[in-house]
Amino acid sequence: MSAKPGPVFLERRTYRRRRAADAARLLPFLGVVLIGVPLLWGDESAEMAKTTRVMLYLFLVWVLLAGLSAIISRNLDKGEDDAPPGETPTRDDM
């Protein structure tokens, strides 16, 4: 019988920085999916969606993506400032 391994402990700062980096990596894929949604609009009568509706939707998606990227980048920058003095964060830390 082997001993049960104890719980894995990750520092909260490191964990949040890694999740923010993961979110930053997934944001372009979310953008592609959201921008592709108007291609699915329309009905069986071959009538296309109105241009004004599509342009408004694309503008709102663009604003949403810009806002999300600003929030994520702020969290990533804040995580690097929290590093102890003399210790520079490496790519492996993210």
Q: How far is CA 66 from its chain centroid?
A: 11
Return the pLDDT at 13.
75
- In eight-state DSSP terms, residue 83 is S
pLDDT, tens only, 5-16: 766 666 777 888
DSSP letter, residue 41? -
Mean pLDDT of 17-44: 88
How close are the terminal C-alpha atoms of the chain, in Å?
Answer: 36
Average pLDDT over residues 50-70: 93
Q: Which residue has the higher pLDDT, 3 or 63?
A: 63
Question: Among residues of the chain, what percentage have pLDDT more than 70?
Answer: 66
Token readout for 23 is: 């979110």
Contact 83, 89 (CB under 8 A): yes
CB 73 within 8 A of CB 24: yes
